[in-house]
Amino acid sequence: MAKTFEDMTPKEFMAAINGYINREDEEIPADRFFQLAKEVKYPALETIEVPIRATNGEIHLQPVENLVVVENNTLILGGKRLVFKLVS
35 shares its domain with 61: no
36 shares its domain with 58: no
> What is the C-alpha to C-alpha distance for residues 72 and 78, in angstroms, rounded to an integer?
18
Q: pTM for this one?
A: 0.41
63 shares its domain with 36: no
Q: Which domain holds residue 67?
A: 52-83
pLDDT of residue 12: 83
What does each C-alpha distance from 70 to 6, 57, 73 come to in angstroms? 37, 19, 8
Q: Using the predicted structure, report yes or no on whether residue 3 has a pLDDT greater than 70.
A: yes
Average pLDDT over residues 46-74: 80
Q: Using the predicted structure, report yes or no on whether residue 85 has a pLDDT greater than 70.
A: yes
> What is the C-alpha to C-alpha distance for residues 50 and 62, in angstroms, rounded to an integer?
7
In a domain, 75, yes or no: yes
Helix, strand or coil, per DSSP, at residue 64: coil
Domain total of the chain: 2
37 shares its domain with 58: no
In a domain, 47, yes or no: no
- What is the tens place of the pLDDT at every residue in 5-56? 777 788 888 888 888 777 777 677 778 778 777 777 666 677 788 888 888 8
What does each C-alpha distance from 63 to 37, 46, 49, 87 come to in angstroms? 36, 17, 10, 22
